[in-house]
A and B are shown apart, each in its own frame.
Chain A
């Protein structure tokens, strides 16, 4: 009844091409933004931020990035964990001042970057590394490429484990974020206010989602989709596969790098590379993209929300409510996640985003069946 485009007239091209052409969608979007920016920071506490909101925002960015690569450009990657590690370690190096050594002497040391720019630099460095590992995608396709990206995953984790320069020669081999602020508010370190960390991550999430949305419906996104649908045909109609694939790898890695940097600096505070950015992380983000919906911005958020909420919900029900031992609940969680993935693939291969689209279609027609 209320959700339809009837009576909603567009008189300019800008209006016609806007992201949310239906009024109801637009107002809902404004409402969500209002609540997220103005209301939520005042009502949240430490538990909500650390167990739900921060992981959700950070994984959303990673899922957006991977969705650009897998969902829009069709290049399957299992290297997400490794790329997140690049983001985290570059952020750490820029936060603490990059030192360049040559022949045993300190050549020069960059000044310590502000946390904001450190996170951006994390994204930039990851984009470079991502484009480098994207090069083989020009010759290798499909499964072979998926396995080739595993090389990135294992090599990068090994690199950050072995080369002491990356973790500033600390004895534990861990990196831990020093206390840094932005605009006079503490963002990293143990005494950060929950709302500050939340707003900092929210800012990046909004910017990334905005950029992803507009890139994927512009010329770049159309080229990616042409490559995804059939790369040879795309090449024949004039899409440069080298540029399309490498930009997809670079943009996707940029997002993943930012999420890795936030994951380390704001969310965890201290990480050990094999534990935080192992192969399981790659699969987790891939599942978010698949369950959420390949080739959908909304799907990235839905998938991230689903897989962040599920373990928390299971823990609340299993451990707190039923009183089962934690290890049994952890195993049950594996079973349920696995079964859900299979179920989703069987029932709705296009993920939660497709369910949402169907629901919207039903709403538009309601109360009529057709």
Chain B
């Protein structure tokens, strides 16, 4: 088999894996946008916050320890215990639900009926706020995240040896794919399937779709908007936690984690803000597109690092021809 072709396929596969993670973040956006019309810029920071909380709980850190030490002059370092991953994840989920409640209660309840752009700005404010709180709570240094189900079964690191040896034997070229990426793809696929099932077959899911369709009609048949919004923000928090675990395990828990939110934006533009399948397909297109562009054109001709802007340019060009995105609802404008 042609070496160059095999290498291209490998880049393609890696792009797909990256695309799955983009789709995962984009999914959180779509959930909130559909149900409340809020374009939640803070999704990336929520992922950061969730990952930091998880690490903090695992390591038994005292929240706000630096602040407490600075104010009272104490020398607290930590509780001195470690919490198993499984328990820590459940605790973090509760924290995210609490966060969803607080966001709903203190921010968006007061902004009902405002223009979408104002709501968007509010989420940018929320992103700053959460980032500051996360740093104050757990400290801003780079943290490593290891999640283990039991003593020995952890989220895997490194490349997949099995895949490399089998493909090498079969085709004369060993594929290089991270274990973590494979696991992340499977988990993301499960999560998406779970969310779709939840939306289709449960009472709350049906109420959620009703709210997404028409707020007033949903209110008139007795759906509690307040509850649905908290539910949706909690779900988005949960998706953020999963995304945070995956990205955190891949490249450490640090500020740059929150920037994946920016990467999810072109994904959304491609897929349309209101479509769950759109988010997934868009994520895959962006992931594959930017890896292939970097490999085929960016690195040889343009001096590399084109991943920074390619996704946006692709989305921009795409939107000029199809302003509502791939699966978005057709925009009808009236005076």
Chain A residues packing against B (C-beta within 8 Å): 76, 136, 139-144, 146-148, 150-151, 154-155, 157-158, 161-163, 230, 232-233, 236, 279, 283, 286-287, 290, 324-325, 327-328, 331-342, 345-346, 349
Q: Shortest distance in angstroms between A283's beta carbon and chain B's nearest beta carbon?
A: 6
Interface residue B286 (Cβ < 8 Å from any Cβ of A): no
Residue of B nearest to A146 (CB): B120
CA–CA, A144 to B319, complex, Å?
8
Which of B125-133, B198-206, B226-234 faces chain A? B125-133
Docked-complex contact B136 and A331, CB < 8 angstroms: yes
Docked-complex contact A151 and B316, CB < 8 angstroms: yes
Residue of B nearest to A236 (CB): B335
Q: B120 contacts which of A143, A331, A333 (Cβ < 8 Å)?
A: A143
Q: Shortest distance in angstroms between A82's beta carbon and chain B's nearest beta carbon?
A: 10
Between A and B, 22 residue pairs with Cβ closer than 8 Å are A136-B316, A142-B117, A150-B265, A151-B309, A157-B308, A158-B306, A162-B302, A162-B305, A232-B333, A232-B335, A283-B124, A331-B140, A334-B132, A336-B132, A337-B125, A341-B121, A342-B125, A342-B126, A345-B114, A345-B121, A346-B122, A349-B114
Docked-complex contact A162 and B303, CB < 8 angstroms: yes
CA–CA, A142 to B115, complex, Å?
11
B304: A residues at CB distance < 8 A = 162
A157: B residues at CB distance < 8 A = 308
Chain B residues packing against A (C-beta within 8 Å): 39, 66-67, 70-71, 107, 110-111, 114, 116-118, 120-122, 124-133, 135-136, 140, 262, 265-266, 268-269, 273, 302-306, 308-309, 312-313, 315-316, 319-320, 323, 325, 333-335
Q: Shortest distance in angstroms between B71's beta carbon and chain A's nearest beta carbon?
A: 8
A331: B residues at CB distance < 8 A = 132, 135-136, 140
Q: B130 contacts which of A140, A150, A151, A338 (Cβ < 8 Å)?
A: A338
B127: A residues at CB distance < 8 A = 338
Docked-complex contact A342 and B107, CB < 8 angstroms: yes
Q: Shortest distance in angstroms between A223's beta carbon and chain B's nearest beta carbon?
A: 17
Known: A143-B120, A335-B132, A345-B118. A148 touches B312 (CB 8 A): yes
Residue of A nearest to B114 (CB): A349
The total of interchain contacts (Cβ-Cβ below 8 angstroms) comes to 136
Q: Shortest distance in angstroms between A295's beta carbon and chain B's nearest beta carbon?
A: 12
B39: A residues at CB distance < 8 A = 143
A144: B residues at CB distance < 8 A = 269, 319, 323, 325
Known: A140-B320, A143-B120. A230 touches B335 (CB 8 A): yes
Docked-complex contact B126 and A148, CB < 8 angstroms: no
CA–CA, A233 to B333, complex, Å?
10
Q: Shortest distance in angstroms between A341's beta carbon and chain B's nearest beta carbon?
A: 3
Residue of B nearest to A163 (CB): B303
Residue of A nearest to B304 (CB): A162
Docked-complex contact B70 and A151, CB < 8 angstroms: no
Docked-complex contact B308 and A325, CB < 8 angstroms: no
Q: Which 7 A-B pairs have the closest CB atoms?
A: A338-B129, A334-B132, A341-B125, A338-B128, A335-B132, A151-B312, A154-B309
Q: B320 contacts which of A139, A336, A337 (Cβ < 8 Å)?
A: A139
Known: A144-B269, A332-B132, A349-B118. A150 touches B312 (CB 8 A): yes
CA–CA, A146 to B121, complex, Å?
12
Residue of A nearest to B135 (CB): A331
Docked-complex contact A290 and B121, CB < 8 angstroms: yes
B323: A residues at CB distance < 8 A = 139-141, 144
CA–CA, A318 to B70, complex, Å?
11
Docked-complex contact A233 and B308, CB < 8 angstroms: no
